[in-house]
Structure 1
Amino acid sequence: MGTIDRRTNGRYYARWRTPDGKSRSKAFARKRDAEAYLSGVEGAKTTGGYVDPARGRVKLGPWADDWLAGKTNLTPKTRDRYENAIRVHVKPRWGDFAIGKITHSEVQLWIAGIQLAPASVRKIHRVFSQVLATAVRDGRISRNVAENISLPRVHTTEKRFLTHTQVEDMARLVGPDWDLLVRFLAYTGLRWGEVAALRVGRVDLERRRVIVAESVSPIKGVLTWGATKGHERREVAIPQFLIADLAAAIRGKAADDLVFVGPRGGVLRAQTFQRAALVPAAEEMGLCIRKVKDGQPVSVHRGGVDIPVFTKHFHPHEFRHTAASLAIAAGADVKVVQRMLGHKSATMTLDLYGHLFADRLDTVADAMDAARRTELDGTRPGSSEAPIRVGQAPVAEGVGEAR
């Protein structure tokens, strides 16, 4: 059991021993506070949840660096984002703090004061919370004070989905050098980094499949190769109408060659595609709107090039949304869309595209009507159709996996 002593300075000192026999003490202005703290210590020792305060004296800066160094499952792009959050936001505020001295209220004030977009603030908080969660698991602190923080609300913008006709219009406008890329993006849903990293050997024209196994991204100006965002290989179906053009595009190439390349034969960068083809085509279709000031289009000079500024833009990632929309409209269920896009869970797919599945309710009901009629007609006397056996599930046309 611990003890409480009153010193000549009027403060009360709670004293106790750690489970391994080391002596510890903590000062309080009021006796009842010392008693409450000591009661909590003894209770934690009994339940096995005791954390020695001395273990929380490690500084957060070095701890965060070690945490990031130990993360072996990050893609290069994610690692760069985590490193930036720690270097720019976490360490300037908390780097010299002992992790055991950080309080929940201080974290809340810090988060509230970050003047960035809500999504960016949430990402910074997520990194900070993961750093402290590791300290909890390591027995450095008893709880994660970054949990249950009030975070800014993210105002999601409505995603744009192209129709089949719009995809064809876009393919026509970008010209013969880029039309296959537009159709491929819009009907496979691959991320840009996955398309840029796709090699000929991972395209199976006979099975109409592409194997998505790696990604490439520019990080600090350097092209960096790594695993896909979900860290898993996946197969994505290729629509039949793309096979002939794909076959022509990869004819004569080695298995390790890239399917889509830049103008000079290297890795195709998103900016190159946007400037050379996508933005002009999207602008002609009304999908991009230039910012105008004093009757003149606004541009910024960057890297020796004048780059137009848009109030409404069109990004390659919107082809991924388009692929999801077209697949759902064609009858693909949530698990099929999840596998196609490489989402970690069906929940993620529903969070992004759940409203599109609601549009399929009438189609599903009609398909169930058709399935019911097929089964009942097959069991009536004089029916020309063979009866359906017990346990044999009728196929609801238009529902389920899109093939």
Structure 2
Amino acid sequence: MANKDGHRRFGSVRKLPSGRYQVRYPGPDGRIRTAPETFARKGDADRYLTLTEAQIARREWTDPDRAKIKLGDYAKQWIDQRPNLRPRTVHLYTWLLGRYVTPYLGPVELGQLTTPLIREWRAKLLGNGVSQSMSAKAYRLLRAILMTAVKEDEILPKNPCRIPGADQEKASERPVLKVAQVFKLADAVPAPYRALVLLTTFGCLRWGEVAALQRQDIDLGAGTVRVRQAVTEQRGVGLVLGPPKSRAGRRTVSLPPAIVSAVREHLAAHVDDDPDAFVFTGPTGAQIWRGNFNKLVHWPEAVAAVGVPGLHFHDLRHTGNTLAAQTGASTRDLMARMGHDSAQAALIYQHATTEADRAIADALEGALERDRTHPRQPPAASQAEPRESEMDVSESTLDVSMSECDILESSKDRGEPQ
């Protein structure tokens, strides 16, 4: 804005030899800045100054010189300056950036990132065959990096990652095994890994957690397993023992008696008496790797025998979590068993259980509706009382089977391991 003498109170505009207009103004620190672009018309330059002055007054201004840092450089700094990231997380973030982000957006200055440019980048990923799940992971990482540029470093005025639904993964529903299938799978793998399948499933353990278990972590008397560490595989380093995935990952999990019995047999047959001895190892006594697991336990053949091709090892934990939710446990108790800091995962499993319960209620309603529409004639006085199989609403009509948890508790009646 100009004063009565025609001079501006804030900043200055001058015409360059090219005929375009250049803007200069003082930042909040008193240093003179030059606008990152020139203007074809003086009115446009004046409006830029007016907007910049208002941003400074509202404390919404960001330094355009700092916004010249390239995304690739800033993203690397972002990872390096987070000392609490787990090594596996650092590896994952670095890999996602190198594979999906920096090849497209790495040379772009932060100040030049816009929502249309982010949308174009995501469209290229999907167009090049990158899955929606992996695209969502890369998008969430980019959004987190740029949120730091907005909230903490105050380099950007707002986050350009503003694409609805881009952060959502729509992965296919993973299979949930029946209890009988879990035991069949355990019987299909080599004997040294039978307890691995059962403990992972009914203890709701992650791969890194079960691979890190030592004899001292098993309390057969109490029927519990203690999770205090996890294994991660680092490229160029090998297997590394560290803390669990989160603070809530440190936990003690109670096991069903049938699983305690299987673990007892495993410890007696395959694990040294040393408290530090790992519970599950390879043929040479070395720790098991995720990379050679399928070959070690003949996983593809085992899952084929169960009739669930494509089953992942993590689906065992998924199955255990589902069974735990079906018991009616509270969200907090499920969080503690699963090792989650957030209630989100537990709520997902509870939601699945709620849907199953609603299906039962719908089946009941269908049976009741049929009875109201076509009422049965009362028996004649000379007729015998109806047999139990002739009752209007029967278990066979509803097709409701015993829950998996009930089957587990009665496994001794089927001669299965205790």
* Normalised TM-score (structure 1): 0.76
Q: Give the corresponding residue for 2:257.
A: 240
Letter of the aligned partner of 1:11 in structure 2?
Answer: R
Q: Give the corresponding residue for 2:307.
A: 286
Map 1:206-225 onto structure 2 (within 5 A). Answer: 206-220=221-235, 222-225=238-241
CA, structure 1 residues 4+172, in 2 after alignment: closer, same or farther (shift >3 Å)? same
* Residues 214 and 279 in structure 2, CA contact (< 8 A), matched pair in contact too: yes
Query: Which protein has the bigger strand share?
Result: 1
Q: Give the corresponding residue for 2:220.
A: 205
| 1:156 aligned residue (157, 164, 171) | 171
Letter of the aligned partner of 1:338 in structure 2?
Answer: M
Alpha-carbon distance between aligned partners in 2 of 1:21 and 1:262, rounded to the nearest angstrom = 66
Q: Report deviation, 1:220.
A: 3.0
Q: Does 1:323 align with 2:314?
A: no
Q: Report deviation, 1:82.
A: 0.5
Q: Report deviation, 1:118.
A: 0.8
Q: Report deviation, 1:38.
A: 1.8
Q: Does 1:38 align with 2:54?
A: no
Q: Report deviation, 1:362.
A: 9.2
Q: Give the corresponding residue for 2:4.
A: none
Alpha-carbon distance between aligned partners in 2 of 1:321 and 1:68, rounded to the nearest angstrom = 30
Q: Give the corresponding residue for 1:117.
A: 131
Q: Give the corresponding residue for 1:70.
A: 81
Secondary structure class of the residue paired with 1:141: coil
Shifted more, 212-221 versus 192-201: the winner is 212-221
**Deviations 1:181-217 (Å, cap 9, x if unpaired)?**
1211120110111100112222233333222122213
* Residues 11 and 49 in structure 2, CA contact (< 8 A), matched pair in contact too: yes
Q: Report deviation, 1:260.
A: 1.3
Map 1:331-346 onto structure 2 (within 5 A). Answer: 331-346=328-343
Alpha-carbon distance between aligned partners in 1 of 2:360 and 2:103, rounded to the nearest angstrom = 55
* Residues 119 and 163 in structure 2, CA contact (< 8 A), matched pair in contact too: no
* Residues 185 and 305 in structure 2, CA contact (< 8 A), matched pair in contact too: no
Q: Does 1:23 align with 2:32?
A: yes
Letter of the aligned partner of 2:145 in structure 1?
Answer: V
CA, structure 1 residues 206+38, in 2 after alignment: closer, same or farther (shift >3 Å)? farther
Q: Give the corresponding residue for 1:47.
A: 58
Map 1:135-284 onto structure 2 (within 5 A). Answer: 135-136=149-150, 137-148=152-163, 151=166, 154-220=169-235, 222-232=238-248, 233-251=250-268, 252-275=272-295, 276-284=297-305
Alpha-carbon distance between aligned partners in 1 of 2:200 and 2:332, rounded to the nearest angstrom = 20
* Residues 163 and 326 in structure 1, CA contact (< 8 A), matched pair in contact too: no
Alpha-carbon distance between aligned partners in 1 of 2:360 and 2:352, rounded to the nearest angstrom = 15
Q: Report deviation, 1:29.
A: 2.0
CA, structure 1 residues 152+243, in 2 after alignment: closer, same or farther (shift >3 Å)? closer
Secondary structure class of the residue paired with 2:311: coil
Over the aligned positions, Cα root-mean-square deviation in angstroms equals 2.7
List runs of 5+ in structure 2 lacking aligned partners.
1-9, 362-402, 404-408, 410-418
Letter of the aligned partner of 1:329 in structure 2?
Answer: Q
Q: Give the corresponding residue for 1:13.
A: 22
Q: Give the corresponding residue for 1:354.
A: 351
* Residues 75 and 228 in structure 1, CA contact (< 8 A), matched pair in contact too: no
Q: Give the corresponding residue for 1:128.
A: 142
* Residues 114 and 160 in structure 2, CA contact (< 8 A), matched pair in contact too: yes
CA, structure 1 residues 152+99, in 2 after alignment: closer, same or farther (shift >3 Å)? closer
CA, structure 1 residues 33+229, in 2 after alignment: closer, same or farther (shift >3 Å)? farther
List runs of 5+ in structure 1 lacking aligned partners.
289-312, 365-397
**Deviations 1:202-241 (Å, cap 9, x if unpaired)?**
2233333222122213333732333322244122212222
Q: Report deviation, 1:69.
A: 1.0
Shifted more, 340-349 versus 320-329: the winner is 340-349
* Normalised TM-score (structure 2): 0.74
| 1:86 aligned residue (80, 83, 97) | 97
Letter of the aligned partner of 2:284 in structure 1?
Answer: R
Q: Does 1:60 align with 2:57?
A: no
CA, structure 1 residues 347+49, in 2 after alignment: closer, same or farther (shift >3 Å)? same
* Residues 329 and 360 in structure 1, CA contact (< 8 A), matched pair in contact too: no
CA, structure 1 residues 211+35, in 2 after alignment: closer, same or farther (shift >3 Å)? farther
* Residues 175 and 311 in structure 2, CA contact (< 8 A), matched pair in contact too: no
